[in-house]
């Protein structure tokens, strides 16, 4: 938990600075696309992530890797930002910085990220129904669903948005019933 708090404390100002840069240069779309692509690249190449996060590897070496492997695929602004992170020994916080940057961009565009945990696969039609309902509930311009599967939920799904959790799972209903039964037996 302490590491997440530290990462968040470090990520926030860098993410805000990147958003300010994107706004000032009217390049929000390009930088946001870069950040999404970077997240995919880092998720699909754990060796690169491990290398950039390794404290033993010198910053100059990390800069060279960024210039050779990442910079050709992204805008100059994003590339310069990554080089600054490497210089300041903050490249290992790239993931929380990217996550926070996207949160800020989505907030700016009134796009809500909603996490759905489901017991089974959710079809495209079901996802669209959820998006429509959630747009009405939140007054968001757009809803981005992040769907994960968890068979331990037995059935139904769990919806998380900001600090709100809506538990529509069979497991959740069983737990509530058990609590109710426990309290009624205490009488």
Q: Above pLDDT 90, what percent of the chain?
A: 41
Stretch 145-155: mean pLDDT:
83
pLDDT at 66: 93
- The string of pLDDT tens digits covering residues 151-160 is 888 887 778 8
Among residues 76, 80, 69, 67, which one has the least CA distance to residue 27?
76
Residue given tokens 């959740």 in the structure block: 172
Which residue carries 């998380």 as its tokens? Answer: 160
pLDDT at position 1, please? 43
> Which of these ranges, 71-75, 111-115, 161-165, has the smallest mean pLDDT?
161-165
Residue 68: per-residue pLDDT: 93
Q: What backbone phi and psi angles, to 5 degrees, belong to 27?
A: -125, 30
Question: Helix (H, G, I), strand (E, B), or coil: what is residue 83?
Answer: helix
Q: What percent of the chain has pLDDT over 70?
A: 95
In 3-state terms the chain splits into helix, strand, coil percentages (rounded to 5) of 70, 15, 15
In terms of phi and psi (left: phi > 0; alpha: psi -120 to 50; beta: otherwise), the region of 111 is beta
With contact defined as beta carbons under 8 Å apart, do 96 and 14 qualify? no
pLDDT at 163: 64
Whether residue 2 is predicted with pLDDT greater than 50 in this model: the reply is no
pLDDT at position 72 over 90: yes
pLDDT of 34 strictly over 90 = yes
- DSSP notation for 7-30: HHHHHHHHHHHHHHHHHHTT-HHH
Delineate the domains of the chain, giving CATH numbers in brackets. Answer: 2-106 (1.10.520.20), 111-185 (no CATH)
């Amino acid at each position: 938990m302490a590491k997440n708090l530290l990462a968040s404390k470090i990520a926030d100002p860098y993410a805000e600075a990147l958003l300010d840069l994107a706004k000032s240069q009217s390049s929000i779309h390009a930088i946001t696309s870069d950040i999404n692509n970077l997240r995919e690249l880092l998720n699909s190449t754990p060796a690169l992530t491990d290398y950039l996060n390794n404290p033993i590897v010198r910053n100059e070496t990390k800069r060279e890797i960024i210039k050779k492997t990442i910079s050709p695929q992204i805008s100059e602004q994003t590339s310069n930002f990554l080089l600054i992170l490497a210089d300041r020994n903050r490249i290992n916080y790239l993931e929380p910085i990217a996550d926070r940057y996207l949160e800020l961009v989505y907030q700016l565009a009134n796009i809500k990220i909603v996490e759905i945990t489901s017991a089974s696969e959710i079809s495209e039609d079901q996802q669209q129904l959820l998006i429509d309902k959630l747009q009405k509930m939140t007054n968001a311009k757009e809803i981005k669903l992040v769907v994960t599967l968890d068979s331990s939920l037995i059935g139904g799904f769990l919806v998380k948005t900001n600090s709100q959790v809506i538990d529509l799972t069979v497991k959740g209903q069983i737990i509530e019933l058990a609590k109710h039964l426990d309290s009624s037996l205490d009488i």
